[in-house]
Amino acid sequence: MAAPNTFAGEALDRAGERRDDDAWLAARSADPTTRVVAASEAGVLSEDDRPKLLSVADLPDGAETVLLGVDGHGHAVFAADVGDDYPGERRGLRDLAANMSQAEGGMIAHGVALLNWHRRHRFCANCGVRTNSAEAGHVRRCPNCGAEHHPRTDPVVIMLVEDGDRAMLGRQARWPPGRYSALAGFVEPGESLEEAVAREVREESGVHVTDVRYRSSQPWPFPTSLMLGFTARWASGEPAVGDGELEDVRWFTREEIAGGEVQLPPPEAIARRLIEEWLAT
């Protein structure tokens, strides 16, 4: 089995059976060995380019915790939004990626994803009343209409279109000059992953593809996505900017990519892995 992508590979037991065990949760909150992933909208609380974990006692008054799980030593790990006024340095998750182990990166990404979801779902989508956190942060319940809201993950397909010794890459205008990447887009309702790959490629480039094959996936909590990596084989059409999301889309030869004539996505991105796997074939 291939190594997991960045932000995958969390080693915690997510302890789903403990989420509604109030006595156990209270005991873990009082345990000085319990650790808390602390973050705010400004980023992850950090020190020396690494996440800085807190104890529950370090949290500001009123901070709600969400249970991430239990580590291999039996110690609980929570996450909490400490607010932007809490003292300390903040770093973005991508900035921290290079200095975290696979397991630590997965744990921090898990915490950031849950906190992002809570920030964006404070009110009931059914009746508009403010909801309450329940089941250790894995549900938000409406006290008015009784609706339950669960953490959501938005599936995104990302695909490298290949044709022999060339691959199709696109770039967005906001990226650094010269950077190109694999095409990507959100899965729409009533659509299979394979259909989403074909549709997104067609909409963004005008190219038709076949032989869609799954490669690997990556949690991407910016804010709540799951990247689903595919390769696809060119069938017909020549690339041209289609739906306005891209500034440019075109073929690159294996030699151009391997020779550094195009700036690739950063190493932590699944797009980079798709490209490097293709180069290695």
Query: For 182-196, how does the pLDDT look when each residue is reduced to its tens digit (9 = 90+)?
Result: 999 999 999 999 999
Nearest alpha carbon to residue 205 among 254, 238, 157, 162: 238
Using DSSP bridges, classify how beta strands 154-163 and 225-236 pair: parallel, antiparallel or unpaired: parallel
pLDDT bracket for residue 144 (50, 70, 90): very high
Query: For 10-52, how does the pLDDT look when each residue is reduced to its tens digit (9 = 90+)?
Result: 999 999 999 999 999 999 999 999 999 999 999 999 999 999 9
For the whole model, what pTM was predicted? Answer: 0.94
Same domain for 171 and 105? no
Please provide residue 102's backbone torsions phi and psi, each rounded to the nearest 5 degrees: -55, -45
Q: 222 in a domain, yes or no?
A: yes
Q: How many domains does the chain have?
A: 2
Same domain for 270 and 163? yes
Same domain for 259 and 209? yes
Query: For 66-93, how does the pLDDT look when each residue is reduced to its tens digit (9 = 90+)?
Result: 999 999 999 999 999 999 999 999 999 9
CATH of the domain at 238: 3.90.79.10
pLDDT bracket for residue 3 (50, 70, 90): confident
**What is the residue-averaged pLDDT of the chain?**
97
* pLDDT surpassing 80 at residue 133: yes
* pLDDT surpassing 70 at residue 255: yes
Please provide residue 160's backbone torsions phi and psi, each rounded to the nearest 5 degrees: -100, 115
In this structure, are residues 44 and 37 in contact, taking their beta carbons and an 8 Å threshold?
yes
Given this model, what pLDDT does residue 50 score?
A: 96
Same domain for 236 and 190? yes
Among candidate residues 120, 141, 165, the one where a domain is terminated: 120
CATH of the domain at 102: 3.90.79
Same domain for 81 and 173? no
Mean pLDDT of 220-238: 97
pLDDT bracket for residue 161 (50, 70, 90): very high
Q: 106 in a domain, yes or no?
A: yes
Given this model, what pLDDT does residue 1 score?
A: 62
Q: 114 in a domain, yes or no?
A: yes
3-state secondary structure string across 75-140: CEEEEEECCCCCCCEEECHHHHHHHCCHHHHHHHHHHHHHHHHHHHCCECCCCCCECEEEHHHCEE
Mean pLDDT of 113-132: 97
In this structure, are residues 218 and 153 in contact, taking their beta carbons and an 8 Å threshold?
no
Mean pLDDT of 154-167: 98
Same domain for 102 and 171? no
Same domain for 116 and 182? no
Q: 174 in a domain, yes or no?
A: yes
Among candidate residues 76, 100, 120, the one where a domain is terminated: 120
Same domain for 242 and 162? yes
Given this model, what pLDDT does residue 87 score?
A: 97
Q: 24 in a domain, yes or no?
A: yes
Among candidate residues 71, 101, 120, the one where a domain is terminated: 120
Same domain for 109 and 170? no
Q: 234 in a domain, yes or no?
A: yes
Q: Which domain holds residue 257?
A: 154-279
Nearest alpha carbon to residue 12 among 97, 96, 95, 79: 79
Query: For 106-119, how does the pLDDT look when each residue is reduced to its tens digit (9 = 90+)?
Result: 999 999 999 999 99
Q: 147 in a domain, yes or no?
A: no
Same domain for 51 and 161? no
Q: 158 in a domain, yes or no?
A: yes
pLDDT bracket for residue 238 (50, 70, 90): very high
